Amino acid sequence: MLVTVQDGKATKLRGNPEHPITRGFLCGKVASYIDRTYHPTRILHPLKRVGPKGAAKFEKISWVEAVQIICKKLKEVIASPSGPQSILPYSYAGTMGRLQGSSLDRRFFHALGASLLERTICATAGVAASTITLGTRAAIDPESCIHSKLIIHWGSNTSVTNSHLWALQHQARKNGAQVITIDPFRSKTAEKSDWWIPIRPGTDAALALGIMHVIFREQLEDFRYIQEHTLGHEKLKKRALDEFPPSKVSQITGVDVPSIEKLARLYAQTPASLIRLNYGMQRHGGGGMAVRTITCLPAITGAWKHPGGGAFLSTSAMYPLKDSHTFERKDLIPPGTRSINMSQLGKALCNHQMDPPVNAIVVYNSNPATVCPEQPEVIRGLMREDLFTVVLEQFPTDTTDYADIVLPATTQLEHWDIHTSYGHYHVHLNEPAIAPLGESLPNTEIFRRLAKGMELDSSLFDCTDEDLIREALEPSETSLMGPEALRGINFDTLRKHGFQRLNIPREYSPFALGRFPTKSGKCEFYSSSLEAMGLDPLAGFTPPYESPESSPELACQYPLQLITPPDPAFLNSSFANLEWQKRDAHRPTLIISPQDAAARGILDGMRVRIFNKRGAFLAHASVEDSVRPGVIVAQGLWWNKDVAGNANANATTSQAITDIGAGATFFDNLAEVEVALT
């Protein structure tokens, strides 16, 4: 980003036209970042609660008083019988910078001996599953997708959530590439594709196995690549041929047999085929297995050999920055320290048998009252008078309403940071363009002050943010890419250029010659590590926890499968509070098929209540054929305080976790819909 500053105030924001990926274009949410930075509701001073929890009544206090209150309370918690593990840090991707997201904050909590947080809410199912299969995350050089001849968006609304990749794919399309989208919902990407395949939620792995069946049956596989670079081929071939004929796959997925056959042949016979897989397919009980099975496909056809071919989940694992163990000082973690899954925050806060209980929580870079599954239980936990809650924030979110102390945090324009990416291979320096507004501080400085108040080892925190950037750029010897990938990239060169590409070849294709970073060195269709864990070692299909087939009794009560992809106006809860965004989103909407609407007496525009045994929320019906019967879609996430009923779709989602990677299962959710009485 390029920021114009006049008299110390940011006045203009634009993309950097020299950046080879963004090329001067900013996505919608970031393009208005200046409005966000100077928004009148911005939190600019430390606040102390003066009313009941949830009432959002606060008084302004000084930083000195705020630090004193927090440190006094944390010391009391540590000295109590529950000890330091009753303190829980809770953070995620409110900022994805290495400094403000995962540096001194981690050192602080490790030094305290606090509980560890398993940060699972987004993509751990896919990360773990692709790592088991490929040894790392599925990756190509995104710039090479201009050479793709077939692009399959599988559980990815790329045109909305990854606009820069979509622009590159548009070039491929001009060169003759076909674009297919596999999604239960006709998203904007599906609308712009050559072919939309509406699949039932949670059945993606079954479709992948059906594709394999056709490929193996018709001998369309790349025999040489399979023989040289895969493990367990015969077992997978037998499973696909014996267990997943297109007729059976059609019954599971809802995709008709001719479409399965056509898709398989098209995929196998197009060498430069790219599967863009994303979060949608992994947010159900079998989400890990879904990603694992789909990432086997490019090895079966040899697509990895071709520029623009393969599978693409994320480039984030390719950056050889300083090992997180050393940078975050994981050596400080006391032996036996427990971990708490962030996707099960409600259980952690409300489980009275948990030993020790969570008695203090420090939230930063996250808005759990909005984004966590099974929202009613999360809110009950945050309402506990005996739970000491600190929130570092920029705005009065749903979560700050339950805080005892709120600390004002800086925005991207006001602090130093270093950024990698999950969509390309460039390292970026984030240099502050303006001074922090009001009394806001970077997370790094906030944790320095808290560490001093807690009398922690000063050597862990006596470093400037510039020092931390230099430290982060010390190459890791254990990285997949190796330390050479950072050669010539340091604080001074980044200060000069703003961004630099890793030292890897253009159109980098990591598995063209095999060399998978698994223990076997091969793409593991069969995994001994999964077998040792007592899980199915062979790529396969794990049904969702909640579906008419796997939960017939539950489906009698709640017969509709609810998925909750992001609203294009918001994309995530960090950008759901500006007036223009709420205006563009209009109001909470439930998309429902004409058949399902008619069966319930629902007309277009009616206010409806969506509910299950976990909770309920309100929306307005949009009756359309963009979803298949039996599936409903609620795009979000709205902040609770901005909608009728003070609840969003996460009032109904489950705290169950995925088969692999312990990820969230937001899209594994049976519900019912009725006309709202009010």
For residue 62, being part of any structural domain is answered with yes
Supply angle C-alpha 501, 502, 506, rounded to 5: 75
User: 340 and 273, same structural domain?
Assistant: no
User: 607 and 581, same structural domain?
Assistant: yes
Backbone angles phi, psi at 566, to 5 degrees: -70, 145
Which of 454, 474, 489 finishes a domain? 454
For residue 196, being part of any structural domain is answered with yes
pTM above 0.85, yes or no: yes
For residue 403, being part of any structural domain is answered with yes
Look at residue 469 and give its three-state secondary structure: helix
| Cβ neighbours of 5 (radius 10 Å) | 12
For residue 285, being part of any structural domain is answered with yes
Average pLDDT, the chain: 95
DSSP string of 207-275, one letter each residue = HHHHHHHHHHHTT-S-HHHHHHHEESHHHHHHHHHHH--HHHHHHHH---HHHHHHHHHHHHT-SSEEE
Look at residue 528 and give its three-state secondary structure: helix
Of residues 677 and 672, more confidently modeled: 672
CATH number at residue 406: 3.40.50.740
Closest CA to 565 of 478, 635, 643: 635
Q: 10: domain range?
A: 1-31
Give the residues across from 426 on adjacent strands. 501
CB–CB of 282/123 below 8 Å?
Answer: yes
Residue 313 — pLDDT band, cuts 50, 70, 90?
very high
Give the model confidence (pLDDT) of 247-300 as tens digits. Answer: 999 999 999 999 999 999 999 999 999 999 998 899 999 999 999 999 999 999
Give the model confidence (pLDDT) of 560-589 as tens digits. Answer: 999 999 888 876 788 888 888 888 888 999
User: 166 and 287, same structural domain?
Assistant: yes
Please determine, for residue 479, whether its predicted confidence score (pLDDT) is greater than 80: no
User: 189 and 66, same structural domain?
Assistant: no
What pLDDT does residue 287 have? 97
For residue 45, being part of any structural domain is answered with yes
User: 105 and 136, same structural domain?
Assistant: no
Token digits for 361?
């929580």
User: 131 and 117, same structural domain?
Assistant: no
CA distance 630 to 672: 10
Please determine, for residue 478, whether its predicted confidence score (pLDDT) is greater than 80: no
Look at residue 281 and give its three-state secondary structure: helix
CB–CB of 141/120 below 8 Å?
Answer: no
CA distance 79 to 55: 30
User: 152 and 281, same structural domain?
Assistant: yes
Residue 614 — pLDDT band, cuts 50, 70, 90?
very high
CATH number at residue 668: 2.40.40.20
User: 520 and 586, same structural domain?
Assistant: no
Which of 435, 454, 473 finishes a domain? 454
CA distance 466 to 418: 10
Q: Is 586 left (phi over 0), alpha (psi -120 to 50) or beta?
A: left
Residue 429 — pLDDT band, cuts 50, 70, 90?
very high
Please determine, for residue 678, whether its predicted confidence score (pLDDT) is greater than 80: no
What pLDDT does residue 213 have? 98
For residue 493, being part of any structural domain is answered with no
CATH number at residue 182: 3.40.228.10
User: 587 and 647, same structural domain?
Assistant: yes
User: 264 and 152, same structural domain?
Assistant: yes
User: 644 and 581, same structural domain?
Assistant: yes
Give the model confidence (pLDDT) of 375-408 as tens digits. Answer: 999 999 999 999 999 999 999 999 999 999 999 9
Q: How far apart are the first and last CA of the chain?
A: 46
User: 239 and 144, same structural domain?
Assistant: yes
Q: How many domains does the chain have?
A: 4
What pLDDT does residue 318 have? 87
Closest CA to 393 of 217, 548, 573, 535: 573
For residue 462, being part of any structural domain is answered with no
What pLDDT does residue 636 have? 84
For residue 440, being part of any structural domain is answered with yes
What pLDDT does residue 29 have? 80
Which of 416, 439, 454 finishes a domain? 454
Quick one: average pLDDT of 175-201? 97
Give the model confidence (pLDDT) of 81-129 as tens digits. Answer: 999 999 999 999 999 999 999 999 999 999 999 999 999 999 999 999 9
